[in-house]
Amino acid sequence: MDTLTADDMEALCLGATLLGAGGGGDPYIAKLVAHQALETYGPVEVVNAAALPGDALVLTTAVIGAPTVILEKIPAGTEYVAGVKALASYLGKETAAIMPIEVGGLNTLLPIAAAAEMGLPIVNADSMRRAFPQIEMTVFTLAGLAAGPLSIADEKGNQCVFETTTNQVAESLARAAVIQLGLANAISCYPLTAAQVVEHAIRGSLTYCTEVGRMLQAVKDGADGAWDRFLSESGSREFFNGKVIDLDRRTTDGFARSTVILEGLDGLDTTMRIEVQNENLIAFLDGKPAITTPNLICLLDCETFDPITTEALAYGNRVLVIGMPCAPEWHSDGMLDLVGPRAFGYDVDFVELQA
């Protein structure tokens, strides 16, 4: 994976939708934005952070807000580059490369558009290899790296820079700003040197996302044994095959929250309940936690195998629910405090995926 071109966007988008675990925002519009940027500005070089000088500045860019809003408030396209430039200016340094902060959802694709426009390479790494709803929920926080200084930019030219004592305060300030700026804005956070990326990031995320996307495309194309291959190669497991019989959505505190109830299609009287805060966080099988964050809970259309985002899910949808293992980099001290079920307010223990 040396460069990304417009042709690579399909597989990446499919993988990103899956890794969004219901959240991260539907990547469809971001795919169009990235596609257009790659056609306009040419291919983007994909680099490993180790190939950059150790002190080179790597900046991230992402949309921050509620997926339900992001779906309707289409990016102007100017805010991502503006946010990166605002942060670089605040830091008084040149940006050497762009990195996605989350590979999962549309934030996988938006950084590619920004990198293309800025003529910068993109680093094949991220801090989640899935989507999470809060800024502090990264492997960087586990490593003690600061989310700030971070910038927030909107499409009108408003800009914020936050420098905070903890990543939790960064989250609360950024969230408060985003609520004022329309709940779909650009954020550039965790400014790091290439050496820090090498040491602390989840490496190869873009490659992983593309591979997962290609395997899923093979399933969609009806290739022989593709589904089993997808499950085994991604370490995933099928948990439920059911129909949406209840869906309770509310947008509160700047997040899209919902509760999904599925009824089994297997003729047995089983139900699955999924709790959502931007992303699918916990799946209860007949009342018992079956899949928990930080592992991924992904819903796929029963017939097309398209991953379904939280905001697109509808009453009556027939879906497959799979559990995918989170990136191994998550498994270090503090993981459950930061992104386990209790970090989201659920009094539920973490469940090993293969248990």
Provide the minimum distance between the beta carbon of 69 and a second copy in the complex, in angstroms, as a whole number.
Answer: 16
Q: Mention every residue, 6+ apart, whose C-beta is less than 8 A from residue 317.
A: 243, 244, 299, 301, 308
Report which of 118, 128, 172, 183 is spatially closest to residue 150, judged by C-alpha positions: 172
Site string for a second copy, 102-131 (x = CB under 8 A): ------------------------------
Provide the minimum distance between the beta carbon of 186 and a second copy in the complex, in angstroms, as a whole number.
Answer: 14
69 binds a second copy (CB under 8 A): no
253: left (phi over 0), alpha (psi -120 to 50) or beta: left
- Select from 29, 32, 51, 176 the one that contacts a second copy (CB under 8 A): 176
241 binds a second copy (CB under 8 A): no
- Select from 101, 115, 177, 338 the one that contacts a second copy (CB under 8 A): 177
91 binds a second copy (CB under 8 A): no
Which tokens sit at 95?
Answer: 């940006």
d(CA 181, CA 153): 9
The verdict on whether omega for the bond into residue 294 sits within 30 degrees of 0, i.e. cis, is yes
> φ and ψ at 55, to 5 degrees?
-95, 5
- Angle, CA 250 vertex, CA 101 and CA 13 arms, to 5°: 35
Is the Cβ of residue 68 or residue 151 nearer to a second copy in the bound state? Answer: 151
Is the Cβ of residue 182 or residue 334 nearer to a second copy in the bound state? Answer: 182
Is the Cβ of residue 86 or residue 300 nearer to a second copy in the bound state? Answer: 86
- Select from 61, 127, 159, 167 the one that contacts a second copy (CB under 8 A): 159
Which tokens sit at 338?
Answer: 């930061």
- Select from 3, 48, 78, 172 the one that contacts a second copy (CB under 8 A): 172
163 binds a second copy (CB under 8 A): yes
Provide the minimum distance between the beta carbon of 81 and a second copy in the complex, in angstroms, as a whole number.
Answer: 16
Contact status, residue 300 vs residue 322, Cβ threshold 8 Å = yes
- Select from 41, 90, 346, 350 the one that contacts a second copy (CB under 8 A): 90
161 binds a second copy (CB under 8 A): yes
Give the gyration radius of the chain's Cα atoms. 19
Is the Cβ of residue 180 or residue 332 nearer to a second copy in the bound state? Answer: 180
Q: Mention every residue, 6+ apart, whose C-beta is less than 8 A from residue 346.
A: 275, 281, 282
Footprint (CB under 8 A) of a second copy, residues 181-200: 181
User: What is the dihedral angle through the alpha carbons of 227, 230, 233, 235, rounded to the nearest 10 degrees?
Assistant: -90
- Select from 5, 180, 232, 259 the one that contacts a second copy (CB under 8 A): 180
User: Contact residues for a second copy (CB under 8 A)?
Assistant: 86, 90, 156-165, 169, 172-173, 176-177, 179-181
